[in-house]
């Protein structure tokens, strides 16, 4: 019992590196052959007893010498082959020496390695302010780790869940550009589903970047999702098992194999609508499909009837009557994936697995997010073009700037309304006239939801009589038209009447 208790205490001390006089490193070194990319590792400790009144009593009761020491070897000239792009999975029980190994790797690799736990960042600023040299770079980095939600871009680190925080730290890790990424207690605080998603995403990102990962954890359930090229399993003492695999990416996250696409309903959309950055309202849908894992709703895609006019369409779709167009063309109205399951390709899966079931031979998609996350292209859709801001919206923005608006906040309803209330009568008239002289179908549609194209003559009067609340909403629509959108197109390869 005493021996077992002593060993337990010892290994706990080793794991936490609480090295005091009674626990001394007698031999500790890692040699790195940069040419052969091999590591030679030897680490051993010598333990003794700190002299206190109680330790003297225990030693006397069991006949132990108070000055006795004992050497424990963790790694005895272990030979490791680790390349600069390997994924190394280090597993073992708590106290077996995983953390010690990572700390010595950090010591020998120096600036070539970065430990995810040492990355510092502001916790009281919106995420988009804390990453990337530019807004575009920040959006790209956050999107790559699954924080590709417009609302998440604006949240602070302290407002994130544990899984989202880990993803954010991965984004900061990519930004640092170190060759070796070190992670102790990898995903140990996350639920196992989230851990598998993070592991899958980590290996995908590291392999794309050409970086090496050394991840240590007590959990052995991440082998398939991390898909390591080197697996080190450390047992107590100097016993160790090392297995080498082909260095290739995992084909898909293990959780995806448990999911299936099924026919969905508007109720399915409503359940996940809060996770979409656009309006929760949708036009009458043509088809809805959902992605399920057991009884859990993982994602939803909504197909709708196409708008009458759309940029990019004339590049791939012939001009035809509205009834014929409705028969041959659908538009992807919404795609949303539950935040828990992002970064494992579910957006692409939803699109890819449902395009042929949309009910038409052709499908189009217009989205701002497609500029930062090419999920639709990965699913087989073809990017046709990007739409620059409309000329009418640009002209209105110029007027808004002249009367004192911060045009980066046009999507903030309260801010816009408060600004309108503070304007002089002359400036308010200038804003109304700007909308009248720069008429755009989306503006007209706001006032005439039904058959707006036959009532454009009434539009000027509607703008002049509009309340400040309605004018604020019109300005928000203008803000949407200032965005750069991507137009994508898909056509069925099955024989039949073409689009």
* DSSP result, 218-236: S--TTHHHH--SEEEEE-S
- What does the alpha-carbon distance between residue 65 and residue 49 come to, in Å, rounded to a whole number? 9
Angle at which helix 2-16 crosses helix 98-109, to 10 degrees, equals: 30
- What does the alpha-carbon distance between residue 434 and residue 476 come to, in Å, rounded to a whole number? 14
Main-chain dihedrals φ then ψ at residue 389, nearest 5 degrees: -55, 145
CATH topology of domain 87-253: Rossmann fold (3.40.50)
pLDDT computed for residue 23 by the predictor: 38
Main-chain dihedrals φ then ψ at residue 269, nearest 5 degrees: -60, -45
pLDDT computed for residue 38 by the predictor: 67
Provide block-wise average pLDDT over 10 residues at a time, the chain (499 residues).
37 38 48 64 65 78 68 77 93 88 88 91 90 89 83 88 90 91 93 94 94 95 96 88 94 96 96 82 90 97 92 91 94 93 93 96 88 87 91 95 90 89 95 94 79 71 94 92 92 74
The full set of domain ranges for the chain reads 2-81, 87-253, 259-383, 391-481
Angle at which helix 162-176 crosses helix 192-209, to 10 degrees, equals: 10
> Are 200 and 189 contacting, i.e. CB atoms less than 8 angstroms apart?
no
State CA 250 to chain mean position distance.
17
- The CATH number of domain 259-383, selected from 3.40.630.30, 3.30.2350.10, 3.90.550.10, 3.30.70.20: 3.40.630.30
> Are 76 and 218 contacting, i.e. CB atoms less than 8 angstroms apart?
no
C-beta pairs of 202-207 under 8 Å, 24+ apart in sequence: 202/170, 202/226, 203/87, 203/227, 203/228, 203/249, 203/250, 204/249, 204/250, 204/343, 205/144, 205/145, 205/170, 205/174, 206/85, 206/87, 206/181, 207/85, 207/87, 207/247, 207/249
């Amino acid at each position: 019992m005493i021996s077992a208790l002593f060993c337990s205490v010892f290994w706990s001390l080793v794991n936490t590196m609480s090295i005091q006089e009674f626990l001394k490193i007698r031999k500790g070194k890692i040699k790195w052959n940069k040419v052969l990319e091999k590591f030679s590792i030897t680490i051993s400790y010598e333990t003794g007893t700190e002299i206190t009144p109680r330790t003297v009593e225990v030693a006397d009761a069991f006949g132990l010498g108070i000055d006795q020491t004992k050497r424990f070897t963790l790694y005895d000239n272990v030979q490791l082959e680790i390349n600069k792009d390997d994924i190394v999975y280090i597993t073992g029980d708590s106290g077996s020496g995983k953390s010690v190994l990572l700390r010595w790797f950090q010591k020998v690799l120096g600036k070539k390695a970065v430990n995810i736990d040492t990355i510092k960042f502001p916790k009281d600023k919106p995420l988009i302010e804390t990453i990337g040299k530019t807004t575009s770079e920040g959006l790209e980095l956050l999107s790559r780790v699954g924080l590709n939600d417009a609302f998440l871009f604006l949240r602070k680190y302290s407002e994130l869940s544990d899984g989202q925080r880990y993803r954010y730290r991965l984004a900061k890790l990519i930004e640092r550009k170190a060759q070796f990424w070190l992670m102790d207690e990898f995903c140990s605080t996350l639920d196992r589903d989230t851990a598998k998603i993070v592991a899958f995403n980590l290996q995908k990102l590291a392999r794309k970047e050409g970086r090496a990962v050394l991840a240590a954890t007590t959990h052995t359930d991440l082998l398939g999702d991390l898909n390591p090229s080197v697996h080190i399993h450390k047992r107590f003492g100097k016993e160790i098992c090392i297995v080498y695999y082909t260095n290739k990416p995992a084909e898909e996250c293990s959780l995806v194999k448990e999911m299936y696409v099924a026919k969905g309903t508007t109720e399915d959309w409503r359940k996940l609508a809060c996770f979409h950055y656009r309006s929760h309202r949708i036009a009458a849908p043509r088809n809805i499909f959902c992605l399920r894992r057991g009884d859990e709703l993982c994602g939803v895609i909504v197909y709708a009837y196409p708008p009458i006019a759309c940029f990019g369409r004339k590049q791939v779709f012939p001009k035809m009557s509205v009834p014929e167009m409705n028969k041959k063309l659908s538009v992807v109205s919404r795609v949303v994936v539950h935040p828990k399951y992002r970064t494992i390709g579910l957006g692409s899966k939803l699109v890819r697995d449902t395009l042929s079931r949309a009910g038409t031979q052709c499908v189009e998609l217009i989205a701002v997010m497609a500029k930062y996350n090419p999920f639709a292209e990965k699913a087989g859709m073809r990017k046709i073009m990007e739409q620059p801001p409309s000329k009418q919206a640009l002209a209105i923005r110029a007027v808004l700037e002249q009367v004192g608006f911060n045009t980066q906040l046009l999507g903030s309803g309260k801010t816009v309304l408060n600004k309108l209330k503070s304007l002089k009568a002359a400036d308010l008239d200038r804003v109304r006239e700007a909308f009248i002289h720069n008429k755009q179908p989306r503006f007209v549609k706001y006032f005439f939801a039904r058959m707006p194209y036959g009532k454009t003559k009434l539009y000027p009067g509607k703008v002049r009589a509009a309340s400040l609340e309605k004018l604020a909403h019109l300005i928000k629509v203008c803000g949407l038209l200032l965005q750069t959108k991507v137009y994508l197109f898909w056509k069925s390869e099955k024989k039949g009447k073409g689009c």
